[in-house]
Amino acid sequence: MSTTSVAETPAATPREDVAALPRTQHLLSRLIRRPLGVISLAVLVLLVISAIFAPLIAPHSPDTISVIDRFHGPSSAHWFGTDELGRDLLSRLLYGGRIALGISFGAAAISTILGVLWGFFAAQAGGLLDELLMRTVDVVMAIPVILFALVLVAAFGSHLPTLILIIGLLLTPASARLARSAVLAEIRSDYYRAAVALGIPRVRILFGELLPNAAPVIIARTALAAADAMIIEASLSFIGLGVPPPSASWGTLVKDGYAQIFHALYYVIFPGAVILLAIWALNTLGDQLQELLDPRASR
Amino acid sequence: MKAPTLGTTAPLLAVEQLSVGFPRRHGEAVTPVRGVSFSLDRGQRLGIVGESGSGKSLTALALMRLVHEPVALGGRVLLDGTDLLGLSAREMARVRAQRMSLIYQDPMSALNPVFSVGKQIVEAVRLAHDVPAKAARSRAIALLDDVGVPEPARRIDSYPHEFSGGMRQRVMIAMALASDPDVLIADEPTTALDVTTQARVMDLLSRIVADRHLAVILITHDLGVAAGFCDEVEVMYAGRVVEHAPVDDLYGRPVHPYTEALLGAVCRLDADTARPMPSIGGQPPLPDRLPTGCTFHPRCPCATQRCGGETPVPLAVERGRFAECLYAHERASAPSVGGGR
Amino acid sequence: MLWYVGRRVGMSVVMLALTSVLIFVVLRVLPGDPVTTLVGQTEGIDASQVAQMRHSLGLDRPLIVQYGSWVAGLFSGHFGMSYFSQQPVQTLMGGRIVPTVELTLAALLIAIVIAVPTAIYAAMHPRGIVDRAATAFASLGMSVPSFLAALALIIVFAVKLRWLPTRGYVSIFSDPVQNLKLIVMPAAALAFTACAPILRFLRGSLGEASEAPYIRTAEGKGMLRPTAIRKHATPNALIPTLTIVGMTVGRLLGGVVIIEYIFSWPGLGTLIVDAVFKRDYAVLQTSILFAAAAFIFTTLVVDLLYGVLDPRLKASTAESAA
């Protein structure tokens, strides 16, 4: 009779059986193995750290005016040069990072939290309420984001907390849509139905099980939202409707630099490059995370 | 219409030790098809039968060199003496355009949903020969008529989703014939169809093949379909041909235990419904985890110690038939072997 | 079919109405009294003058009435009175619509003309040089805010090379050459950011379509693979890309504001930015609504185009003969 049985059917892992989406730590370890993932993460960490420790790293105070030192190009004393008031550009950039990154992350956090609540609630409720909530999303998204931002700034001003709130609210609908479809997918899974059948209150299921499973998708979206937030804030600051003086974000620095474009090119290039770098890093991080989550990603 | 070739010694299509290998990043390549050989002449009908995963569809694609890269094809595929595996991409494209056609399993996905069927058939016509558009269109209409599509002049501008399954398959056949090929390969042409439509499509194929004196390779897992259509049949298991015989011999007196088991597993109208349906226990092996010795031995009811150690080679048991089993000769001559009748 | 079109148009109208409510609420209801903001800095204005100002601007009527008269005015071409310039809003907006449309369309055209052939070529030769360069370009393009793109162009072409002017406008009908010189940088800056998402999506869509069975069928008929991708995958991939193009128009409408401001392009964008600075809500209301209307209209057109272009959606009574 036959001896060894060799054939093994490949183990099927149906999504419905087990909460199969990778948990966050697992995701992180996989991210590190991809070159773009590492680079974008490293860049972000670098930017965040330099922003947090700006007071310690900055060679000068960003506000020190020194008329004799105006428009010095990059030198050993001033790595990025000085501006029209003799202020050290590197220091201004470091401090500006606190504002730019602060607004970007703050707005992204707001949009994620509100969007997730909105989307979860809609998906969970279903029926007319779901329809209503999603139509609201459509209506809000009918107005191009930057225009809506301008309108809200006109109405409510642009103090820092207001700005964070405005941008956060503007990015919420997109997060809501994503959160809703992520939740819908989970609601159709067996483990959800099992939990409901066991009598676990919906809210607990929501936060205990659905959220951790949808977390990777939501984290990816948050990174992209942060990138969008930075684009909005930088654009607003550039035309003078963003961060109000005396604070200066990177966008404000580009604006100042643009005014001096015939005196000093580096003044506009450095902040511009940093903005580009930050947005690129956030976008790439978000993309890499999304690719990791998409089972079809083979390219 | 092709006149039968008289007096040619070389067969139209001769396949020698065809193998399909996929290189892998770590470790050895996986070879889901190993050592397939047969020859085919005009007017002949060869059937390749086997379970899912036996490699039969892959063989069909390999003959046309349509397997997705990266892939390593071994052996030789001689069409009128020319080895297709050695041709450049352009030359092979011309062979596909003019000499060989493939009919696919699922006509809905094999046809482009945004083009009319007429456009797709005309494309086949014009890829084969330099034909002006009007003439190509008339030819397309004639082909649709030939395969039994009603109102061909009108339906030619319809889209694939506007046809039923059976009609779509007929369209595929028309498209395959558009280039006037010498060799027709049909990969599970009736799998997606219901039984009555199946019968009709097979009848159509039969008539067309006879009319045009084509060489046909029919790939199927349905033993009944193969029995009704083919002259010779090859049985594939786990990437190898385990038996090759004229159809009556194969079904009447199977030699290889796998063939025997397959035939025994066929559901018969006169079967005793009280007894459980016979089936072959276990699963076919994965191409990267093949058993030692005979690939079938873990599931073979007649396996011996030898079977796990020695690799069988094709043994000719009669004229025109061989089987890949260590005990092929013994099984062929034993009078009581064979239960498929 | 007609029924479908009618329904879809109806939905757009409802959307537009709801959007107008949203804009009105955000601008008028939430922030409170605009008059206080207007007179905020001015000294020596007494209560009766404030009341008179409020009355002349129609701000003492109930909100519903204000909303109603605004909407009614939209249909008759009277968009209200600017809070600042003593001019009717429609006059302020009128001459500026054409330059904005010109710029937006030019940018869209450039973006499509660059993105589509590049994506197709990249898909025809996957992992080749063009494919890799295009992917990198798209990734970059999505990370560049339009103002940075504009700055880069200005630095190169205006500051360093001094080939192109950075401000001004001339109608295409009066001086086409000058119009072209003036429009190329702003349009290119806008196009850069619009091109990236279209390129990326189309390339991805083509990549998926390249794996479809009908590509293999085309190869089986004797077509070379790149040709098969070009002829067979492209129509299938372009259809869903339409949606992305629609979304891009939305982004363009936002970006055009910034770009117009940078290049002093006399369009709706500069009008809007000025209105924001001055808190001229009357102008803002209608201009923003126009932009939203343009976006909603674009989405409508895209949806209807789907019905026309995708044969599977054409309401055909499927005649299936067995």
pTM assigned to the model: 0.86
First to last CA, chain A: 46
In Å, what is the CA distance from B134 to each residue of B125, B127, C39, C189, C223? 11, 15, 78, 48, 21
Q: Which of C216, C235, C320 sits opposite B66 (nearest CB)?
A: C216
Q: Do the beta carbons of residue C186 and residue C258 sit within 8 Å?
A: no
Q: To the nearest whole angstrom, how far is the Cα of C290 from the nearest Cα of chain A? A: 10
pLDDT confidence of C81, banded at 50, 70, 90?
confident
pLDDT confidence of C34, banded at 50, 70, 90?
low
The closest alpha carbon to B55, from B76, B73, B81, B42, belongs to B73
Percent of chain A topping pLDDT 90: 36
pLDDT of B271: 65
Report the length, in residues, of chain A. Answer: 299
Lowest-confidence region among C26-40, C143-157, C169-183, C278-292: C26-40
Q: To the nearest whole angstrom, how far is the Cα of B304 from the nearest Cα of chain A? A: 7
Sequence-separated (6 or more) residues with CB below 8 Å from residue C86: none
Percent of chain B topping pLDDT 90: 50
What stretches of B99-132 show up as alpha helix (H) in DSSP? 107-110, 117-128
Which one is predicted more confidently, B112 or A59?
B112
Chain C within 8 Å of A270 (Cβ-Cβ)? no
pLDDT of C316: 43
pLDDT of A12: 41
Q: Which residues of A touch C295 (CB under 8 A)?
A: 142-144
Mean pLDDT of C63-78: 84
Tell me: the pLDDT tens digits for A48-75? 999 999 888 888 887 878 777 777 777 7
pLDDT confidence of B254, banded at 50, 70, 90?
confident
Chain C within 8 Å of B197 (Cβ-Cβ)? yes
Which one is predicted more confidently, A196 or A241?
A241
Number of C-alpha atoms within 13 angstroms, CB side, residue B285? 25
pLDDT confidence of C317, banded at 50, 70, 90?
very low
Q: What's the DSSP call for residue A59?
A: S
pLDDT of C118: 96
Q: Which residues of C touch A299 (CB under 8 A)?
A: 126, 207
The closest alpha carbon to B192, from B217, B218, B167, B175, belongs to B167
At position B82, the amino acid (one-letter code) is: T
pLDDT of B265: 66
Q: To the nearest whole angstrom, how far is the Cα of C318 from the nearest Cα of chain A? A: 32
Mean pLDDT of A272-277: 95
Show the tokens assigned to A251.
């966008």
pLDDT of B269: 67
Q: What is the dihedral of CA B317, B319, B320, B321, to 10 degrees?
A: -10
pLDDT confidence of C297, banded at 50, 70, 90?
very high
The yes-or-no verdict on residue A18 having pLDDT over 50 is no
Q: Which of B66, B127, B159 sits opposite C311 (nearest CB)?
A: B159
CB contact under 8 A, A272 and C151: yes
CB contact under 8 A, B104 and C217: yes
At position C278, the amino acid (one-letter code) is: K
Lowest-confidence region among A72-86, A151-165, B12-26, C277-291: A72-86
Show the tokens assigned to A13.
């892992």
What stretches of chain C show up as alpha helix (H) in DSSP? 2-24, 34-39, 47-56, 63-76, 89-124, 129-141, 146-153, 176-210, 213-220, 225-228, 234-263, 268-278, 281-309
CB contact under 8 A, B112 and C319: no
Q: Which of A147, A153, A299 sits opposite C207 (nearest CB)?
A: A299
Mean pLDDT of C155-177: 79
Q: Which residues of B touch C319 (CB under 8 A)?
A: 158, 162
Which one is predicted more confidently, C234 or B320?
C234
CB contact under 8 A, A2 and B290: no
The yes-or-no verdict on residue A274 having pLDDT over 90 is yes
pLDDT confidence of B219, banded at 50, 70, 90?
very high
pLDDT of B75: 92
CB contact under 8 A, B179 and C221: yes
Q: To the nearest whole angstrom, how far is the Cα of B316 from the nearest Cα of chain C? A: 35
Q: What angle do CA B80, B83, B84 make, to 5 degrees?
A: 100
Written as one string, the DSSP assignment of B180-202 is --SEEEEESTTTTS-HHHHHHHH
How many distinct helices (H) and strands (E) make up chain B? Answer: 13, 12
The yes-or-no verdict on residue B338 having pLDDT over 50 is no
pLDDT of B6: 52
Q: To the nearest whole angstrom, how far is the Cα of C108 from the nearest Cα of chain B? A: 26
Show the tokens assigned to C45.
């204005």
CB pairs under 8 A between A and B: 30
The yes-or-no verdict on residue A22 having pLDDT over 70 is no
CATH of the structural domain B13-108+182-270+279-333, one choice from 2.30.30.240, 3.40.50.300, 3.50.50.60, 3.40.50.1370: 3.40.50.300
| Range with top average pLDDT, A85-94, B308-317, C128-137 | C128-137
Which one is predicted more confidently, A46 or C310?
A46
The yes-or-no verdict on residue A13 having pLDDT over 70 is no
CB contact under 8 A, A9 and B283: yes
- What is the residue extent of each domain of chain B? 13-108+182-270+279-333, 109-180
Chain B within 8 Å of C160 (Cβ-Cβ)? no
Chain C within 8 Å of B149 (Cβ-Cβ)? yes
> Strands B215-220 and B45-50: what pairing?
parallel
Mean pLDDT of A140-165: 90
Tell me: the pLDDT tens digits for A203-224? 777 777 777 777 888 888 999 9
Tell me: the pLDDT tens digits for A164-207? 999 999 999 999 998 888 888 777 788 888 888 888 887 777 77
The yes-or-no verdict on residue B5 having pLDDT over 70 is no
CB pairs under 8 A between B and C: 93
Chain B within 8 Å of A11 (Cβ-Cβ)? no
pLDDT of B132: 94
In Å, what is the CA distance from C50 to each residue of B184, C29, C61? 90, 19, 15
CB contact under 8 A, B114 and C235: yes
Q: Which residues of B touch C310 (CB under 8 A)?
A: 114
pLDDT of A293: 77
Tell me: the pLDDT tens digits for C123-147? 999 999 999 999 999 989 999 999 9
Q: Which residues of C touch A150 (CB under 8 A)?
A: 257, 272-273, 276, 284
Which one is predicted more confidently, C61 or B197?
B197
Q: Measured between alpha carbons, how far is B173 from B178 in angstroms, rounded to an integer?
A: 9
Mean pLDDT of A237-259: 90
Chain B within 8 Å of C209 (Cβ-Cβ)? no
Tell me: the pLDDT tens digits for C215-252? 999 999 999 999 999 999 999 999 999 999 999 999 99
pLDDT of A164: 95
Q: Which residues of A touch C258 (CB under 8 A)?
A: 146, 235, 238-239
The set of chains that have 3 or more CB pairs under 8 A with B is: A, C
Mean pLDDT of B88-114: 92
Show the tokens assigned to B106.
């699922």
Lowest-confidence region among B12-26, B211-225, B279-293, C242-256: B279-293
Q: Measured between alpha carbons, how far is B134 from B122 in angstroms, rounded to an integer?
A: 9
The set of chains that have 3 or more CB pairs under 8 A with C is: A, B
pLDDT of A15: 42
pLDDT of B331: 77
Tell me: the pLDDT tens digits for B140-187? 999 999 998 999 999 999 999 999 988 999 999 999 999 999 999 999
CB contact under 8 A, C291 and A144: yes
Lowest-confidence region among A153-167, A260-274, C19-33: C19-33
Q: To the nearest whole angstrom, how far is the Cα of A139 from the nearest Cα of chain C? A: 6
Sequence-separated (6 or more) residues with CB below 8 Å from residue B282: A5, A7, B298, B299
| Range with top average pLDDT, A93-97, B193-197, B323-327, B334-338 | A93-97
CB contact under 8 A, A151 and C26: yes
pLDDT of A34: 83
The set of chains that have 3 or more CB pairs under 8 A with A is: B, C
CB contact under 8 A, C295 and A144: yes
Lowest-confidence region among B46-60, B84-98, C78-92: C78-92
Mean pLDDT of B262-279: 70
Comparing alpha-carbon positions, the chain B residue that sits nearest to A4 is B298
Q: What is the dihedral of CA A43, A47, A49, A54, to 10 degrees?
A: 150
* Residues of C (291-320) whose Cβ lies below 8 Å from B: 310-312, 316, 318-320
CB contact under 8 A, A6 and B299: no
CB contact under 8 A, C219 and B124: no
The yes-or-no verdict on residue C24 having pLDDT over 80 is yes
Written as one string, the DSSP assignment of A147-193 is HHHHHHHHHH---HHHHHHHHHHHHHHHHHHHHHHHHHHHHTSHHHH
Mean pLDDT of A79-92: 83
Show the tokens assigned to A264.
């000093």
* Residues of C (218-257) whose Cβ lies below 8 Å from B: 218-225, 232, 235-236, 239
Q: Do the beta carbons of residue B301 and residue B307 sit within 8 Å?
A: no
Q: Measured between alpha carbons, how far is A80 from C105 in angstroms, rounded to an integer?
A: 39
Mean pLDDT of B4-11: 60
Chain C within 8 Å of A132 (Cβ-Cβ)? no
Q: Measured between alpha carbons, how far is A280 from A18 in angstroms, rounded to an integer?
A: 35
The yes-or-no verdict on residue C320 having pLDDT over 70 is no
CB contact under 8 A, C154 and A148: no
pLDDT of B168: 92
pLDDT of C136: 92
pLDDT confidence of C36, banded at 50, 70, 90?
low
Q: Do the beta carbons of residue C145 and residue A234 sit within 8 Å?
A: yes
SS3 A128: helix
CB pairs under 8 A between A and C: 124
